[in-house]
Amino acid sequence: MVGLVLVFINPIRNQLVKMMAHRQMDVTAAQIKKNQHKKASFDFDKVDSLDTKQIVNAAVKGDVIVL
Q: What is the pTM of this model?
A: 0.47
Query: pLDDT tens for residues 38-60?
Result: 888 888 888 888 888 888 888 88
pLDDT above 80: residue 23:
no
CA distance 53 to 57: 6
CA distance 21 to 25: 10
| DSSP summary character for residue 38 | S
Q: At 19, is the secondary structure helix, strand, or coil?
A: helix
26 to 16, 30, 41, 55: CA distances (angstroms): 19, 12, 24, 20
